[in-house]
């Protein structure tokens, strides 16, 4: 299991490094304005912080010290942080990413692995949104029902290719990407399973694709406040 986690999260580090590389190139461009340089540097700082946390997680996992890592976390903060981490990635260039108004929800979950699932769903959505003739749009929102906390990621891209819909939770299933490895959905699926939830495509057709990541409330020790 440690090997699986390590290989899945190495995949995320690779994507964070793509964002760092992209920003480094802009920072090196003499035409980049000082104010933009500052923003680019801040994004690099955030990406390196995420990479460090991911590496710490892999090390702790190898030492089986994970329970100490599970603390009360806010899903809203996680969404904001993940959107900020996605913005500098080349697959997000030109895409408008918005966080829909959502209820405030905190629970006991591991930010590194849940963040990884959300990161990968957002990255796929951005890549798809770049491929529309209109302007690319991605929305992320948070919901809850009696049994689950649900994060939905919606894009206005061309839709999931029919050839991969059934098999995309398997490792190394990829389609239409020059640099695709085929692990993003595998990670999101793994995280859903860890929290007794699911990863579902709620709809997919040209102009609208929605992925829903559900985590079971008992598995994150979240119970709605009694009124
Ligand atoms: N929002 C989406 N819209 C359209 N197609 C999608 C979407 N999300 C996933 N896909 C399809 O599912 C495939 C598998 O996704 P997955 O994230 O597992 O791998 P990948 O994105 O190809 O590579 P990586 O390992 O870098 O994530 C993608 O190659 C793409 O064809
Ligand atoms: Mg992907």
CATH number at residue 115: 3.30.565.10
Domain count, the chain: 1
Q: And the tokens for 6?
A: 């390590």
- The answer as to whether 42 is a domain residue is yes
- The answer as to whether 147 is a domain residue is yes
Per-residue confidence (pLDDT) for residue 100, from 0 to 100: 97
CA dihedral sign, ordered 184, 167, 201, 103: negative
- The answer as to whether 71 is a domain residue is yes
Per-residue confidence (pLDDT) for residue 5, from 0 to 100: 74
CA-closest candidate to residue 23, choices 82, 96, 92: 92
Q: How high is the mean pLDDT of the chain? A: 91
* pLDDT per residue as tens digits for the range 182-209: 999 999 999 999 999 999 999 999 999 9
* pLDDT per residue as tens digits for the range 125-154: 999 999 998 999 999 999 999 999 999 999
- The answer as to whether 136 is a domain residue is yes
Q: What is the distance between the alpha carbons of residues 137 and 92, in angstroms, rounded to a whole number?
A: 10
Is 165 close to ligand 1, i.e. is its CB under 6 Å away?
A: no
- The arithmetic mean of pLDDT across residues 37-50, rounded, is 92
Give the domain range for residue 84. 2-220
Is 125 close to ligand 1, i.e. is its CB under 6 Å away?
A: yes
Question: How many other CB atoms sit within 10 Å of the CB of residue 181?
Answer: 14
* pLDDT per residue as tens digits for the range 74-131: 999 999 999 999 999 999 999 999 999 999 999 999 888 899 999 999 999 999 999 9
Q: Of ligand 1's atoms, which has the minimum distance to the CA of residue 179?
A: 26
- The answer as to whether 24 is a domain residue is yes
Best residue among 184, 186, 207, 213 to mutate for probing ligand 1's pocket (most ligand atoms within 8 Å of CB) is: 184
CA-CA-CA-CA torsion for 67, 43, 85, 88, nearest 10 degrees? -150
CA dihedral sign, ordered 163, 169, 173, 176: positive
Q: What is the distance between the alpha carbons of residues 55 and 48, in angstroms, rounded to a whole number?
A: 10
Is 185 close to ligand 1, i.e. is its CB under 6 Å away?
A: yes
Is 50 close to ligand 1, i.e. is its CB under 6 Å away?
A: no
Tell me which of 43-57, 80-94, 122-136, 165-179 is least confident. Answer: 43-57
- The answer as to whether 125 is a domain residue is yes
Per-residue confidence (pLDDT) for residue 27, from 0 to 100: 93
Does residue 7 surpass a pLDDT of 90?
A: no
- By percentage, how much of the chain surpasses pLDDT 70? 93
- The answer as to whether 15 is a domain residue is yes
Is there a contact between 140 and 118 (Cβ–Cβ < 8 Å)? Answer: yes
């Amino acid at each position: 299991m440690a090997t699986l986690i390590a290989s899945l999260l190495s995949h995320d580090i690779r994507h964070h490094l793509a964002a760092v590389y992209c920003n480094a190139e802009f920072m090196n461009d003499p035409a980049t304005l000082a104010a933009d340089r500052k923003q680019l540097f801040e994004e690099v700082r955030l990406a390196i912080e995420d990479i460090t946390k991911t590496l710490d997680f892999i090390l702790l996992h190898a030492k089986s010290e994970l329970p100490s890592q599970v603390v009360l976390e806010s899903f809203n903060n996680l969404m904001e942080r993940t959107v900020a981490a996605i913005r500098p990635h080349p697959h997000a260039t030109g895409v408008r990413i918005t966080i829909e108004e959502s209820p405030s929800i905190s629970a006991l979950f591991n930010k590194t692995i849940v963040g990884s699932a959300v990161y990968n769903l957002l990255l796929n959505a951005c890549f798809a949104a770049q491929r529309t003739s209109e302007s690319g749009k991605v929305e992320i929102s948070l919901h809850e029902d009696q049994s689950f906390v649900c994060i939905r990621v919606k894009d206005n891209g061309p839709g999931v290719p029919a050839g991969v819909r059934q098999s995309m939770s398997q490792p190394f299933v990829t389609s239409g990407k020059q640099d695709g490895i085929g692990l993003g959905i595998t990670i999101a699926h793994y995280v859903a399973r860890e929290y007794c939830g699911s990863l579902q495509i709620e709809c997919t057709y040209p102009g609208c694709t929605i992925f829903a990541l559900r985590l079971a409330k008992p598995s994150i020790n979240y119970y709605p406040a009694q009124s």
